[in-house]
Amino acid sequence: MSPVLQPLRDPASMEFITSPLPVDYAEAVAMQEARVAAIRQADAPETVWFLEHPPLYTAGTSAKKEDLLNARFPVFETGRGGQYTYHGPGQRIAYVMLDLQKRGGDIRKFVFNLEEVLIQTLETFKIRGYRREGKVGLWVKSYLTGKNEKIAAIGVRVRAGVTYHGVSLNVNPDLSHYDGIVPCGISTDGVTSLHALGKTVSMEEIDTVLQKKFSEIF
């Protein structure tokens, strides 16, 4: 059962929530919207929510119909930025609900800092993740082909000055599930995961590092 996002005692502190079981996508969006409204009213703290979804595809505001190759899983239209992406078990999603207005309102800096959280998390496990000009997300170099492969996606939205949606990091998902879409509209590069790179870390280990990096960077 997913958590109920109730107003917390100290709205000035950042709260981290972890859902132990996969959360329905529509439920997750509704819960984020409720928390965003509470943050805006100063009734709840800024929140980072760690979870997984059952297998599904989401279409961002820039998604192209031709990039949906095979709707083998449910497809959700979403208001986040970006194109098509996949979510499923073995992928750590962090929905990030921060008061951007109080933090200066710079969405580019916010996205840069999300990337930095992911880069430093990967560094902890001795993986070099990097940005690419004009391509949102985090990338690694395939040791087999030398090609760029995406290991983390970023898609965010801002409502009333508060962010939501966030990042997804491939820990150990079924990478064949990406075959139903052109991930993020990029057909020339691949996707990978920590386990595919030989790092058999647990979700709990990932959460520990992510929480530390979110706390340090934000």
Would you name the residues annotated as active-site residues? 184
Q: Which residues of 41-52 are buried (b: 16+ CB within 10 A; e: fewer)?
A: eeebbbbbbbbb
Gap between the Cα atoms of 88 and 164, Å rounded: 19
Lookup: tokens for 95: 């929905």
Question: With 0-12 CB in 10 A as exposed, 13-18 as middle and 19+ as buried, what is 141?
Answer: middle
Q: What totals of helices (H) and strands (E) does the chain contain, helices first? A: 3, 11
Gap between the Cα atoms of 58 and 80, Å rounded: 9
Gap between the Cα atoms of 23 and 185, Å rounded: 26
